[in-house]
Each structure stands twice: as structure tokens, then as C-alpha cells.
């Protein structure tokens, strides 16, 4: 049985178990997640978004098959078992082509879904909640659901053609937080109303039935709603369990289903545990991981500045800033204010638009220079204490090697450890 389906069934049978979903394409982030899951002896769910990976390459330059191969190779290198690796696709739909007429955008979306299934992705979040160029607003629930069912039909056909049968798992839902965080300051965040969640489920169930997809509907495992968690550039909306009580109870009337919570980045460890208890059993994390990656690399750049003459340094921060200024498309419409405010946001925003710039060749080269430079010298404990205090403690305890790549991976794992703890069965946690 698919380990994700098995976990959902365990949760619905009363176990307080969940799974975190890693939404990143950065190889160091993925390696950190693989190591974390390997040590916890759990399955690992990794998801590519339609922005990162599509049939044209996305912003990472990778198509679905390339992403799958890349992740498989990383897993082999980490000694992670292939049968515990789950590939998912996030926000699959017309998102990338909203500026086109609906017919054209949906044709691209069908090709996108087909490419994901052909590449071995097992979990598909069908998201057709965004309007296309010729759509009337607001979008009707039935139209959104019909488009999602259309994509499910394509997925099922490709799955049966390639594998003889379809065992694909689906996630539906239209109340999706903005991918990568809210663009405006958070004042008050509305939790999805139970009746709205019921309408979404009913609309999708009817659309699947109308498309002859009753079997596929039995493999819908989760509904995306807004539990009241989100972040913007400078603040985080913390989970308030009391505000989500009615929503939490609603899903209990739908056997086989859990909630999928997006934008759970930067929540507290206690919040993650409570989210799982409240049936938000799939916790998605993305920008917080590359936020931690950036913190680690900036810290290493600070150490490099102390140890090496200027002409030998990577100048990572300068290279990144220059790359962002030369290619402003990924941040310019998100960050506003004075030059100082925008400069700070480019590097330090919770929404972490800097993550789009790591694949740029000049940035990749600078990162490699940084890692090479610091791999060739002994890192003084005193500088580790100054720049990476948590990792310094592990180095002193003998549980972490004082090597730059190991330090970066451990910083990313600092984000993942609370997720892993929250997703473990409470009996495991207590034993």
C-alpha cells in the first residue's frame, strides 16, 4: 500500500499521525529532508509546484521527469529507500497560464498533469481556483471542480496507459493560501467556514461522478482549506486552534479524508502538533526551508570574510543582490517601500523571494566557491559560536561535523525537526 494512503488511514482510525510535505527543489534542502526522514525511518513526501517544475522547465529549469530523476539520485546518495519516497505535484492546474484564455490555459494544464504522471508523481493537488483571461469573476464552485475533474481524467488515462492501472492519490480544494506567502501585511486571517469546505467537497464529488471518475474519487485523500496559518514578508499568523474547531470537526464526517494545510512555515512546534491533532495531517513547508538555507549560507559567508582575503572570497551576498537587481521579476511586484525596505526584504523576508535566484549560474558558482573555500580550512569553534550557535553546540557535542555542507544541512533540518516530531504518533513520542 502507498505509505501516504496508509498514513491517512491510520490517522482516520484515531492515531495522531501526520506527514510533512517538502515543497522545494533546492538540492541541499532535499538532501536535508532525505536525511531527516531516513533517521526517523519514515516516508518522505516531496512536492514540486507548477511554478518550479512544468513541461517547459519552470523557474528551476527542470521538467517533471528531470525533477523525479534528480530526487531519485539524491535519495540513492543518502541511502534513502526508494519505496518510502513519495512524489507530489502542488497547485497543478492553469496557474502558470492565467493570462491566457481558459481553453488554452487548460490545454497546457492537461499537458502538465500528463507529464507529472508520466514522471512517476503519485500525489496530485488539483488546483483550478485561479481565473483565466476570459473567465467571469468570481469563479463558480462547479466550474472550478469541473476543471479539476477534467485534469483527474487525464491523469487516470495516462496512469492506466503507462502502468496498467491508476493508483494516483488526489488532493482537492480551492481555499488555498497564496503560494509562498501572502503579498500584503496580515491583519486578520479568516479560517475556512465548515459549510464552505462542505460545498467544495460536494462540488468536486459531483464533478468526478459526472466525468465517470467514481473510482478516482475513492483515492481523494485530502482537502485544502485555510486553518488560519499564513505569513507575509515580516510577520506570521499563528495557528489558533479555537478558531478552527468547527472546521476540524467537519472532516470527521468524511471517512478517508484529512486536511492538507499549506503555508505552515514558521509556526511553533506546539502549533504543528495541534494541527495534526485537528486533522491537518499533511503539513506543507517550503519557504521556511530556503529561508534557513539562506541564513546558513550568509553565516558561512560571514565566517569566510573573517578567514580569507577579499580577493579569494565568494562574495555571495554581493552576487545574490546583483542577480536580484538584474532580474527583478521574482520580487519587484511583492516588495514595496523605500530602497532600504526593499533591500532588506530581498534578503530577509519571510516570503523568501530569494529562493528563485539560487539556480542562476553566477549564484550557484558563488555558493560552490564558498563551500570550497571553507572546506579547505579548519573552521574555528569560536566563529561557529558567533555565526552558527546551534550548530556550534552540536559540533562541541560530537554529533555534527564542522564542515560547511554539513552545517548548512543541519540548519535546514532545524526547520524539519519540529515537523517530524509533530507528525510522529504520540505513543512513539512518549516511548
Side-chain half-sphere CA neighbours of 190 within 13 A: 6
**Residues with Cβ within 8 Å of residue 357, at least 6 apart in sequence:** 320, 323, 324, 327, 330, 363
% of the chain at pLDDT higher than 70: 95
Nearest to 144 by CA among 180, 181, 94: 94
Nearest to 225 by CA among 147, 149, 143, 280: 280
pLDDT at residue 240, rounded to an integer: 96
pLDDT at residue 425, rounded to an integer: 83
- The count of other CB atoms within 10 Å of the CB of residue 158 is 19
Q: To the nearest 10°, report the CA torsion of 6, 8, 12, 17.
A: 100
Taking the C-alpha atoms of residue 4 and residue 197, their distance in angstroms, rounded to an integer, is 22
Side-chain half-sphere CA neighbours of 288 within 13 A: 25
Nearest to 202 by CA among 278, 244, 141: 141
- The answer to whether the beta carbons of residues 235 and 350 sit under 8 Å apart is yes
pTM, two decimals, is 0.94
- The answer to whether the beta carbons of residues 92 and 125 sit under 8 Å apart is yes
What does each of the 431 residues of the chain score in pLDDT, given as a tens digit?
Answer: 789 999 999 999 999 999 999 999 999 999 999 999 999 999 999 999 998 999 999 988 999 999 999 999 999 999 999 999 999 999 999 999 999 999 999 999 999 999 999 999 999 999 999 999 999 999 999 999 999 999 999 999 999 999 999 999 999 997 654 444 444 445 567 899 999 999 999 999 999 999 999 999 999 999 999 999 999 999 999 999 999 999 999 999 999 999 999 999 999 999 999 999 999 999 999 999 999 999 999 999 999 999 999 999 999 999 999 999 999 999 999 999 999 999 999 999 999 999 999 999 999 999 999 999 999 999 999 999 999 999 999 999 999 999 999 999 999 999 999 999 999 986 555 44
Taking the C-alpha atoms of residue 180 and residue 287, their distance in angstroms, rounded to an integer, is 6
Backbone angles phi, psi at 221, to 5 degrees: -105, -15
Amino acid at each position: 500500500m502507498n505509505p501516504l494512503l496508509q498514513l491517512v488511514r491510520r490517522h482516520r482510525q484515531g492515531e495522531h499521525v501526520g506527514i510533512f510535505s517538502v515543497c522545494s527543489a533546492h538540492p541541499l534542502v532535499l538532501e536535508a529532508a532525505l536525511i531527516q526522514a531516513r533517521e526517523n525511518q519514515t516516508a518522505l513526501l516531496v512536492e514540486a509546484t507548477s511554478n518550479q517544475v512544468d513541461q517547459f522547465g519552470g523557474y528551476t529549469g527542470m521538467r517533471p521527469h528531470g525533477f523525479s530523476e534528480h530526487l531519485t539520485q539524491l535519495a540513492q546518495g543518502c541511502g534513502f529507500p526508494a519505496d518510502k519516497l513519495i512524489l507530489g505535484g502542488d497547485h497543478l492546474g492553469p496557474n502558470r497560464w492565467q493570462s491566457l484564455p481558459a481553453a488554452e490555459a487548460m490545454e497546457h494544464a492537461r499537458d502538465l498533469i500528463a507529464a507529472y504522471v508520466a514522471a512517476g508523481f503519485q500525489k496530485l493537488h488539483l488546483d483550478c481556483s485561479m481565473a483565466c483571461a476570459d473567465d467571469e469573476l468570481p469563479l463558480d464552485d462547479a466550474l472550478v471542480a469541473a476543471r479539476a475533474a477534467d485534469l483527474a481524467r487525464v491523469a487516470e488515462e495516462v496512469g492506466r496507459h503507462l502502468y496498467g492501472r491508476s493508483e494516483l492519490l488526489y488532493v482537492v480544494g480551492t481555499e488555498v493560501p497564496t503560494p509562498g506567502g501572502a503579498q500584503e501585511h496580515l491583519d486578520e486571517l479568516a479560517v475556512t467556514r465548515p459549510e464552505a469546505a462542505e460545498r467544495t467537497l460536494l462540488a468536486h464529488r459531483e464533478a468526478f461522478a459526472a466525468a465517470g471518475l467514481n473510482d478516482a474519487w475513492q483515492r481523494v485523500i485530502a482537502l485544502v482549506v485555510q486553518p488560519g496559518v499564513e505569513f507575509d514578508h515580516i510577520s506570521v499568523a499563528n495557528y489558533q486552534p479555537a478558531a478552527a474547531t468547527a472546521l476540524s470537526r467537519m472532516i470527521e464526517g468524511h471517512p478517508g479524508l484529512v486536511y492538507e494545510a499549506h503555508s505552515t512555515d514558521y509556526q511553533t512546534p506546539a502549533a504543528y502538533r495541534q494541527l495534526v491533532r485537528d486533522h491537518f495531517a499533511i503539513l506543507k513547508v517550503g519557504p521556511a526551508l530556503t529561508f534557513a538555507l539562506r541564513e546558513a549560507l550568509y553565516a558561512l559567508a560571514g565566517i569566510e570574510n573573517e578567514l580569507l582575503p577579499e580577493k579569494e572570497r565568494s562574495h555571495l551576498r554581493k552576487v545574490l543582490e546583483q542577480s536580484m537587481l538584474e532580474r527583478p521579476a521574482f520580487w519587484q511586484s511583492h516588495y514595496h517601500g523605500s530602497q532600504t525596505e526593499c533591500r532588506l526584504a530581498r534578503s530577509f523576508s519571510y516570503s523568501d523571494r530569494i529562493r528563485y535566484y539560487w539556480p542562476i549560474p553566477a549564484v550557484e558558482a558563488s555558493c560552490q566557491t564558498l563551500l570550497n573555500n571553507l572546506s579547505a580550512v579548519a573552521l574555528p569553534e569560536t566563529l561557529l559560536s558567533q555565526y552558527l550557535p546551534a550548530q556550534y553546540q552540536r559540533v562541541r557535542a560530537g554529533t555534527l561535523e564542522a564542515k560547511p555542507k554539513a552545517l548548512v544541512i543541519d540548519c535546514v533540518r532545524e526547520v524539519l525537526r519540529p515537523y517530524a516530531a509533530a507528525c510522529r504518533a504520540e505513543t512513539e513520542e512518549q516511548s
